[in-house]
Amino acid sequence: MERSSAEMPGGVTISLMLAVPDARRAAAWYKEALGAEELWNLGSVIGLTISGAPFFLHEPTAQGFHAPQSPGDTTVRVEVMVDNPDAFVARALEAGATGSLNDIHSHERPWGTHRQGGFTDPFGHSWLVGDKSPLRRF
């Protein structure tokens, strides 16, 4: 019988790894802009966490793992669910992300109102930041 992830011992953590041209510089930015904390650092690969949510940075490899070539080239969209999306986006914008607080909106969804906005980090990755309302079963 196949087990669902909800039945797996210890639960499941889903994370992401972002390709960045300079892992040290990127880690410094994520620490300043998003309050990330370093888990470990191997130089070209760095583990970080934001409020307990892990993510990883890795410099490009010869095996086809590349950073976005320019803002707007999206290879992954980072979805962040927080209590205060406006404050999270504002902090990133103050640290040099591109976007606008005017782009944060409340959307009516089947489960209720969902507040969401976003930004593009200096390394070309698109981040969508919303409240935690989509995390409840509907």
How far is C-alpha 27 from the geometric centre of its chain's CA atoms?
Answer: 13
Q: Is the predicted pLDDT of residue 101 greater than 80, yes or no?
A: yes
Tokens in use for 123? 């390394």
pLDDT per position as a tens digit, 27-83:
999 999 999 999 999 999 999 999 999 999 999 887 777 777 765 566 677 889 999
Q: Is the predicted pLDDT of residue 110 greater than 70, yes or no?
A: yes
Higher pLDDT, 50 or 7: 50
Residue 94 to residues 27, 46, 86, 115: CA-CA distances in angstroms?
A: 16, 23, 12, 20
Per-residue pLDDT at 76:
72
pLDDT category, 105, cuts 50, 70, 90? very high
Residue 132 φ then ψ, to 5°: -90, 5
Higher pLDDT, 9 or 38: 38
CA–CA dist 32, 64 (Å, integer): 29
State the pTM of this model.
Answer: 0.78
CA–CA dist 112, 116 (Å, integer): 13
Higher pLDDT, 84 or 138: 84
How far is C-alpha 63 from the geometric centre of its chain's CA atoms?
Answer: 23
